[in-house]
Structure 1
Amino acid sequence: KVEKSQIIADGAATYQGELALGRNVLVGFMSFDGYNYEDAIIISEELVRADTYTSIHIEDFDVEIRETKLGREEFTRDIPNVSEKALRNLDETGIVQVGTFVRPGDILVGKVSPKSKTELTPEEKLLHAIFGRAGEDVKNDSLEVPSGIEGIVIDTQKFSRRMSLSDDERKVFERELKEIENEGNAEITATFTTFVEQMEAVLGH
């Protein structure tokens, strides 16, 4: 049984039946001499110091390597037809380094895949005929930052997939995974704390 005006549905984006997004603040606004209407609004510095409107958004990207009919895919920094500038943020295994500021189009993980012989140019086919597999070409299959996303890399992890695990192995794996998650959360907190301290230093507080 419900009554008039009783709330029957609520969620994370509502409060007491009303839409509630973000944080509400009280702002005093008065135009100059009461005539103009395009004056700026002065907001309390406390909002900046308290990070009232500061938020963190974390994006998770993953990429796999597989054994294909043409050969095994590989994580690498040696990517064909890619400039050294585009590779500057990758470590020796081809994975972007923690702390790097990345923008759309930047390489997160360098990956190459074997090319089909039908994809080879006449020059590449000649090299393949002369040097055998050593002359076999590969194609760039790297993971790049998608459009509309930019930010700082806070963690990278590399896993090996196991096809079957015993009970003891599964317990060890779950414990290690929990430890990695805790370490990742600690790194995120430390990174955010450092960012706040730097902002306060810039603002002179």
Structure 2
Amino acid sequence: MTDVFLDGEILGEIDDPSEVRHQLIDKRREGDIGKEICVHYAEDKDEVRINSDSGRVLRPVIIVEDGEALLSEEDMQELTEGEITLEDLEDEGKIEYMDAEEEENAYVGMDRSEITDEHTHLEIDSEIINGLSASLVVYPEHNRGDRVNFGAKMSGQGLGMPTREFHQRFDTRENVLTYGQTPIVTTNTFDTILGDHPIGQNMVIALGSFDGYNIEDAVIMNESSMHRGMGRSTYMRTYQTEAQRFWGGQKDEIEVPDKDVRGYRREEAYQHLDQDGIANPETEVDSDDVLVGKTSPPKFLGSGGGEEVKMGLADRRETSLTVRHGEQGKVDKVLVSETGDGDKLIKMKMREYRVPELGDKFATRHGQKGTVGMLVSEENMPFTRQGI
């Protein structure tokens, strides 16, 4: 007898696990049970596992029956033209989503030309079975598997231009490479998804020793190239604060805090604030400087039946928005708006121009990473016959 589990809890026992598994999958394709339910038969433990819990990673595959893929070229054309969606194909039983456990019982083909009667599914696109980041690594078959994984991670961390509207958006954090370039050698996935989107830079690399300053994972960088803009980037961070309203008619105030307010900072911290209590765009600020001046009522006002509470400056707290400790830069953009509750909302984007320095990390797309161990002027660097 074979045990049956639903989300880790035992349901009972059955005689024919393979037949039950196929029956449940057929019911899923016909829409009788949820499309996200996955069924797996573990032969080594003689268990049928039915998974319906949240948090599982599912991926779509094309269903194959009798050696033929159910998704036709006509379906692909209609999908490309927007006449149908993936949900429509799923409802028709031509594609389905599987989790990692159910995939253990599947025989997935890489290409239509190699499908046999034994295949149960077909990859939608064999070029991205390793994931998006790994598909950006060129010639992965010439590299060790672990290095391909490292290269995929480095591609995700690499600087480029994440969006063309970066100067208008208020993302929490963002890095934009100043002089981004497209790679000389790309993959089909890169050309399809990114096209001419810049990511990283093309650099001339020399392999050799240099007085021990590039030992282990260290790299020697051309300081003159840095001065010309190589590796330079802009780091942007968005700060925000709200002027909330409280019980008793009390509310936060966006203003330049008075000296009598509790928690008043040094006077120099407020030097960049305008009359409205907000720093203007293009203002250069330093660590712990105030970006938006704000005062708030005491945290605990007690209960007064909804009557208005009056208090002086000495009762209010200083709750200004400040630059994070250790960061600096310029105010790039300021947005003054309202929340859904009608409270005043202020968003401020800071930008910091960053130049590569000792200890910064550089990496190739093949997973070979290193930190800058020394900056050398170009006249002291090796060069090719062409003078590069």
Bigger share in helix: 1
Runs of 4+ in 1 over 6 A off after TM superposition: none
Unaligned runs of 5+ in 1: 120-131, 165-187, 196-205
The match for 1:115 among 289, 292, 298 is 298
In 1, are the aligned partners of 2:257 and 2:318 still within 8 Å (CA)? no
Cα distance in 1 for residues equivalent to 2:341 and 2:231: 45
Unaligned runs of 5+ in 2: 1-108, 112-125, 141-147, 159-199, 303-309, 343-350, 355-388
Cα distance in 1 for residues equivalent to 2:279 and 2:247: 28
2:320 corresponds to: 142
1:83 corresponds to: 266
How many residue pairs align between the two structures?
152
CA deviation profile, 1:66-111 (whole Å, cap 9, x unmatched): 1111501110102422222111011111112222233332211111
Cα distance in 1 for residues equivalent to 2:245 and 2:237: 27
In 2, are the aligned partners of 1:104 and 1:145 still within 8 Å (CA)? yes
In 2, are the aligned partners of 1:29 and 1:41 still within 8 Å (CA)? no
Q: Secondary structure at the match of 1:86?
A: helix
Question: Where do residues 1-205 of structure 1 align in structure 2 (5 Å cutoff)?
Answer: 1-2=109-110, 8-12=129-133, 14-16=136-138, 17=140, 18=148, 19=151, 20=155, 21=158, 22-28=200-206, 36-38=211-213, 41=220, 43=222, 45=224, 48-49=227-228, 51-70=229-248, 71-79=250-258, 80=261, 81-115=264-298, 133-134=311-312, 137-161=315-339
TM-score by length of 1: 0.56
Percent identity at matched positions?
Answer: 23
| Larger of the two Rg values belongs to structure | 2
In 2, are the aligned partners of 1:27 and 1:43 still within 8 Å (CA)? no
TM-score by length of 2: 0.32
In 1, are the aligned partners of 2:269 and 2:288 still within 8 Å (CA)? no
Cα gap change, 1:37/1:87 in structure 2, threshold over 3 Å: closer, same or farther? Answer: same
Cα gap change, 1:152/1:38 in structure 2, threshold over 3 Å: closer, same or farther? Answer: same
CA deviation profile, 1:123-161 (whole Å, cap 9, x unmatched): xxxxxxxxx645662101111122343221111121134
Cα distance in 2 for residues equivalent to 1:63 and 1:112: 12
2:172 corresponds to: none
Bigger share in strand: 2
